[in-house]
Chain A
Amino acid sequence: MTTINLSAVYPEIVITCFALMILLLQSFDSRRFKEYYGYVSLAGVIAAMLLVFIEPSSFFAHHVEYSFNEMWVVDNYARFFKLIFLLGTGLTILISMKYLEDEDMQYGEYFVLILFATLGMMIMASAAELITVFLGLELMSLSLYVLAGYTRARMISNESALKYFILGSFATGFLLYGIALIYGSTGTTSIRAIAESMGSYGLHTPGLVMGMALLVVAFGFKAALVPFHMWTPDVYEGAPVPITAFMSAGPKAAAFAAFVRIFMAGFPSLQVEWSGLIWIMAVLTMSIGNIIALVQDNIKRMLAYSSIAHAGYVLVAFLSADELGISAILYYLLTYTFMNIGAFAIITALSGRGEERVNIQDYRGLGYKHPFAAIAMSLFLFSLAGIPPTGGFMGKFYIFSAAVGQGYIGLAVIGVINSVVSVYYYLRVTVAMYMQDASAAAESKMPGLFFSPALVVAVFISAYGVLSLGLFPSAYIAIVKESFLMLH
């Protein structure tokens, strides 16, 4: 099967072309086009989304396409993840435009880097081979390092970029080392071939187990799982708000995309080894994320810890490793993209120039001053807390069903108790918005918010997603189940 099937990479090609086009536009006249970079990149994202659905065959045809000597695979699993990434990217672009205008930093590089990061994620989702995973991961990470420090005048943003870069490169080292050990034990980097060689020879060398453990470290870092989460709060706090939104949704989902594919398709025979490890990590990730979030006053930091906790819920579904578990992961990551970016959209609108208002007390009285923004924020927060009738509830319900179905009842109990703990800090924001009076000082600080049309659109799309995932999950579950079936 020495084929080069270009139609399998059409969406990636489109993204690349649009990114290059923005670079070109900028080099012609950076002043004149500064309003348009966002729209151009948005057009690229939408075009890629359509192509994901129809190329190289339709989503509902269940066709699995391999390309580039089986380094690349397009199945429904990859397609579903690409849709999540593109959705996250599209929403991020919508909320970025006004932010950049406020900060007076409307440069093309911003959108180019976002598109390249998305490209990296898409490569990770389609990679059928470990070196391709590495390629995608690096493309994504390098773009994100720059984006985290994009507001370069602010010290905290620089700190964020530097921390992320140093720790991130370290984690990449773990990934490569893990790949090397696995290659040494099995003689291949293809995920399918790894599974086959383990199956036929019953390979259980220490090198292989070590390699697997190193991969857990690397993906644990990218998905911010405890104990590899230390970078998250600082990086999320320092990065520009839209980038924080972006990082908490897309790259996290991408890390899980590769993580799940490698472990489910590549190491099924090592499940005994990794399930104990993942059990402990799931409990720690949920509990530590939620408990530390309780005491945060900065809302970005709070959501950073909450995003750690949410990765923990995903790990619970990961552990059950069956059809229900994987489809629960897909469902949850889709929901999480909507609710988290939705919440960050409101934070972006409120933060103002130079991100002055990012503390929970700045939200006092928002419910009376800007009722619609407050209602939307409450919706996203209740969804994050997992209260029906939102998608967050259905997602958690799905995840805990998967856990109980595989007999992890103890883990499910720890998970639901954690979600009660999390309610407290999400409620803190609604308490501030509705139940506390704005002090005179805060009142004067809160200007008439300017909601740009793009931002409003982003909030509406997110709200629609959150509600429809919660009230009418049947159609989404059908899609999610289709996406699972093609994994093996």
Chain B
Amino acid sequence: MMNSPNFPILSVITYLPLLGILVICLVDSKRHDLMRWVAFLTAVATFLFSLPLYFMFDANTWQMQFVENLPWISQYGISYHLGVDGISLLLILLTTFLSALAILSTWSAVSESVKGYMVSLLFLETGMLGVFCALDFVLFYVFWEVMLIPMYFIIGIWGGPRRIYAAVKFFIYTMSGSVLMLVAILVLFFTHYQATGIMTFDILTYHRFGLSANMQFWLFLAFFLAFAIKVPMFPFHTWLPDAHVEAPTAGSVILAGVLLKMGTYGFLRFGLPIFPQATVEFIPIILALSVIGIIYGAMVSLVQDDIKKLVAYSSVSHLGYCMLGMFALNLEGVKGSILQMINHGLSTGALFMIVGMLYERRHTRLISEYGGIMKVMPIFAALFLLVAFSSMGVPGLNGFVGELLILIGAFKSSLGYGLAATIGLVLGAVYLLWMYKRVMYGGITKDENKNLKDMSRREYAYLLPIILFIVWIGVYPKPFLDKMDVSVQHLLEVMNRPRSTRADLPMNIGLNSTHAIRDYQQFAADQR
């Protein structure tokens, strides 16, 4: 059944979590374990359903695959258009993978209103998958905003002491960026409509649409703001530490692992191919902000006394690398950037889980409360070190591959930024190792730490799968890089291709333009 080309596999993956929500809603709210199992199994099933995407994905073409295209609001050319290419494939797999593990990681940490918590996590998964699958502006925007609601509740209800402040700040900060994107989408739509007479919100159509330089500048600015806040890039990052520190472990894992990637994904899907000229104009600013982010994030991490805050600021630094590689605008850089998105999802997700393990044992995240933990938790110490190495980019682990590619790309495009980014790499090693030393080495200074238990079976169950991929990508990244090769090449070609303001209809009789043509005929009929 699943091999049939018409099987709507993307819709199944996207909405499977909703089915889980339905089941959870029917469960008596006192049976916490049952609800946890339902949520976990739903997420696992979603992951299993998403695996065929990887194996059936044809890496030799840049065309969208597993496409579903149905009219949604046909009056204005809005369609329910889903599809996957080499850029989004790995991000979808990362989402389903991390969601399942995140539910497992929060098994015992959340014991109040478990029902709402599990519902929120599953709802969040649907939103995230929708964002990566959507190929229609309105559909994309709906998923993009929907995600805010469950994340807001996750931070606000199950978070730390300043949770309300963090949740509201997260919601409003993120939304204020994206509403301007909405206006930009509408401007884009009407510009296209006036030029061609076709009403369509289909994203791929706009990859071929030529815009004037001035228009590109303003529209890119609006998209930039939305995505830069989500990434978050340097001056727009202030919501991140608050949200991370207050969120429960699963929230932090998802936030760092997947949500931040939406910003970088947005640049790849919208910013670069739709506004190529503006992208080139913005390069100096974006590269500068990325490098500032890399170094600033690392230096702020260095002085944190709260482990979770340290990891949060390290995200600012790591996402700076993603942006740097992407805006180097060459094959190595962009591929490195996508791989680094995955890597950051895995290693930072794992770091947050590790922080969560410590927190569950001691209920504090202050570095000074720990020390000498290695003596009581030797296995934990080894795994922690491995994850830390992965995060700082030690060869043989995943971080190295991504950062190497990004640095090659950066050096190719500009020596100065490449050098500056290398400094960030050193700082990354400094703050992680120093934190590790203070937490794990030395004598045990606090009595409470003497009887800490080493890792439980459940903790192995969610940390080891991540570590498997950390090593796998580090040793043999080819299966992952191969999938994105053609798509990234095509992306760079799209950027350099000359465009016309008229859509070249006969060239693209693919599924994606049929609605547009039908709408156009409808429009012509109305005019008569």
A residues sitting closer than 8 Å to B (CB atoms) are: 367-368, 382, 387-389, 393, 397, 400-401, 404-405, 409, 412-413, 416-417, 419-420, 423-424, 427, 430-431, 434-436, 473-474, 477-478, 481
Q: Which of B53-61, B137-145, B288-296 is near enough to bind chain A? A: B137-145
Interface centre among A419, A431, A477 (most CB of B within 10 A): A431
Given A405-B190, A435-B163, A478-B75: A420 touches B183 (CB 8 Å cut-off) = no
Chain A residues, CB < 8 A from B152: 427
Q: Which of B164-172, B256-264, B322-330, B386-394 is near enough to bind chain A? A: B164-172
Interface centre among B164, B168, B183, B187 (most CB of A within 10 A): B183
Contact check, B183 vs A474: say whether CB atoms are below 8 A apart. Answer: no
A420 in complex: contacting residue of B71, B73, B146, B179, CB < 8 Å = B179
B471 at the interface (CB under 8 A from A): no
**Residues of B within 8 Å of A, CB-based: how many?**
35
Chain B residues, CB < 8 A from A382: 149
Given A387-B145, A388-B142, A417-B179: A435 touches B74 (CB 8 Å cut-off) = no
Chain A residues, CB < 8 A from B175: 387, 420, 423
Cα separation A437 to B71 with both chains bound (whole Å):
45
A416 in complex: contacting residue of B71, B75, B179, CB < 8 Å = B179
Q: How far is the CB of A415 from chain B (nearest CB, A)?
A: 9
Contact check, B73 vs A477: say whether CB atoms are below 8 A apart. Answer: yes
Closest to B155 in A: A435
Given A388-B145, A393-B142, A417-B176: A412 touches B73 (CB 8 Å cut-off) = no
Contact check, A387 vs B146: say whether CB atoms are below 8 A apart. Answer: yes
12 A-B pairs, CB-CB below 8 angstroms? A388-B141, A389-B142, A393-B142, A397-B182, A400-B186, A401-B76, A404-B186, A417-B176, A420-B175, A423-B171, A431-B168, A477-B76
Contact check, B176 vs A420: say whether CB atoms are below 8 A apart. Answer: yes
Contact check, B171 vs A431: say whether CB atoms are below 8 A apart. Answer: no
B352 at the interface (CB under 8 A from A): no
Chain B residues, CB < 8 A from A387: 145-146, 148-149, 175
Contact check, A368 vs B113: say whether CB atoms are below 8 A apart. Answer: yes
The contact string, 1 if C-beta is below 8 Å from chain A, for chain B 57-78, is 0000000000000011111100
Given A389-B142, A435-B167, A478-B75: A419 touches B190 (CB 8 Å cut-off) = no
B371 at the interface (CB under 8 A from A): no
Contact check, B172 vs A420: say whether CB atoms are below 8 A apart. Answer: yes
Cα separation A393 to B141 with both chains bound (whole Å):
10
Chain A residues, CB < 8 A from B187: 404, 409
Extra inter-chain contacts (19) besides given A416-B182, A427-B171, CB under 8 Å:
A387-B175, A388-B146, A389-B146, A397-B138, A401-B76, A405-B186, A405-B190, A412-B183, A413-B180, A419-B179, A420-B172, A423-B171, A427-B152, A431-B164, A434-B157, A435-B157, A473-B73, A474-B73, A477-B75
Q: How far is the CB of B408 from chain A (nearest CB, A)?
A: 40
B320 at the interface (CB under 8 A from A): no
Contact check, A427 vs B75: say whether CB atoms are below 8 A apart. Answer: no
Cα separation A431 to B157 with both chains bound (whole Å):
9
B156 at the interface (CB under 8 A from A): yes
B224 at the interface (CB under 8 A from A): no
B97 at the interface (CB under 8 A from A): no
Chain A residues, CB < 8 A from B183: 400, 404, 409, 412-413, 416
Cα separation A171 to B275 with both chains bound (whole Å):
51
Contact check, B190 vs A404: say whether CB atoms are below 8 A apart. Answer: yes
Cα separation A368 to B190 with both chains bound (whole Å):
46
Closest to A431 in B: B164
Closest to B141 in A: A388
Cα separation A412 to B184 with both chains bound (whole Å):
10
Q: How far is the CB of A321 from chain B (nearest CB, A)?
A: 16
Cα separation A329 to B84 with both chains bound (whole Å):
37
B189 at the interface (CB under 8 A from A): yes
Chain A residues, CB < 8 A from B164: 431, 435-436
Contact check, A401 vs B189: say whether CB atoms are below 8 A apart. Answer: yes
B153 at the interface (CB under 8 A from A): yes
Chain A residues, CB < 8 A from B138: 397
Chain B residues, CB < 8 A from A477: 73, 75-76
Q: How far is the CB of B155 from chain A (nearest CB, A)?
A: 9
Q: How far is the CB of B72 from chain A (nearest CB, A)?
A: 7
Chain A residues, CB < 8 A from B167: 431, 435
Q: Enumerate B268-287 residues with CB–CB distance to A below 8 Å.
A: none
Cα separation A473 to B75 with both chains bound (whole Å):
10
Chain A residues, CB < 8 A from B163: 435
Chain B residues, CB < 8 A from A389: 142, 146
Q: How far is the CB of B127 from chain A (nearest CB, A)?
A: 10
Contact check, B186 vs A427: say whether CB atoms are below 8 A apart. Answer: no
Cα separation A401 to B138 with both chains bound (whole Å):
12
Cα separation A427 to B155 with both chains bound (whole Å):
13
Chain B residues, CB < 8 A from A413: 180, 183
Contact check, B73 vs A400: say whether CB atoms are below 8 A apart. Answer: no
Q: Enumerate B1-23 residues with CB–CB distance to A below 8 Å.
A: none
Q: How far is the CB of A382 from chain B (nearest CB, A)?
A: 7
Q: How far is the CB of B22 from chain A (nearest CB, A)?
A: 14
Q: Enumerate B212-265 residues with CB–CB distance to A below 8 Å.
A: none
Q: Enumerate B100-137 residues with CB–CB distance to A below 8 Å.
A: 113, 116
Cα separation A435 to B163 with both chains bound (whole Å):
8
Q: How far is the CB of B136 from chain A (nearest CB, A)?
A: 13
Contact check, A427 vs B142: say whether CB atoms are below 8 A apart. Answer: no
7 smallest beta-carbon distances between A and B, as pairs: A416-B179, A404-B186, A388-B142, A420-B176, A435-B156, A474-B73, A388-B145
Closest to B113 in A: A368
Q: How far is the CB of B422 from chain A (nearest CB, A)?
A: 39
Given A388-B146, A401-B186, A427-B171: A416 touches B180 (CB 8 Å cut-off) = yes
Cα separation A368 to B115 with both chains bound (whole Å):
11
Chain B residues, CB < 8 A from A417: 176, 179
Q: How far is the CB of A426 from chain B (nearest CB, A)?
A: 10
Cα separation A387 to B168 with both chains bound (whole Å):
14
Cα separation A404 to B183 with both chains bound (whole Å):
8
Q: How far is the CB of A307 from chain B (nearest CB, A)?
A: 21
Chain B residues, CB < 8 A from A401: 76, 186, 189-190
Cα separation A416 to B180 with both chains bound (whole Å):
7
Closest to A419 in B: B179
Given A401-B76, A427-B168: A434 touches B186 (CB 8 Å cut-off) = no
Closest to A470 in B: B142
Chain B residues, CB < 8 A from A404: 183, 186-187, 189-190
Closest to B29 in A: A371
Cα separation A351 to B286 with both chains bound (whole Å):
53
Chain B residues, CB < 8 A from A420: 172, 175-176, 179
Chain A residues, CB < 8 A from B71: 474
Q: How far is the CB of B138 from chain A (nearest CB, A)?
A: 7
Cα separation A420 to B157 with both chains bound (whole Å):
22
Closest to B188 in A: A404
Cα separation A393 to B73 with both chains bound (whole Å):
14
Chain A residues, CB < 8 A from B179: 416-417, 419-420
Q: How far is the CB of A159 from chain B (nearest CB, A)?
A: 34
Chain A residues, CB < 8 A from B142: 388-389, 393
Q: Enumerate B178-218 residues with CB–CB distance to A below 8 Å.
A: 179-180, 182-183, 186-187, 189-190
Contact check, B172 vs A423: say whether CB atoms are below 8 A apart. Answer: yes
Cα separation A478 to B522 with both chains bound (whole Å):
14
Cα separation A423 to B179 with both chains bound (whole Å):
12
Q: How far is the CB of A459 from chain B (nearest CB, A)?
A: 17
Cα separation A474 to B519 with both chains bound (whole Å):
14
Cα separation A368 to B157 with both chains bound (whole Å):
11
Cα separation A419 to B163 with both chains bound (whole Å):
23
Contact check, A424 vs B172: say whether CB atoms are below 8 A apart. Answer: yes
Cα separation A382 to B152 with both chains bound (whole Å):
12
Closest to A385 in B: B175
Cα separation A388 to B71 with both chains bound (whole Å):
18
Cα separation A435 to B158 with both chains bound (whole Å):
8
Cα separation A473 to B80 with both chains bound (whole Å):
13
Contact check, B75 vs A481: say whether CB atoms are below 8 A apart. Answer: yes
Q: Enumerate B338-385 residues with CB–CB distance to A below 8 Å.
A: none
Cα separation A368 to B113 with both chains bound (whole Å):
8
Closest to A428 in B: B168
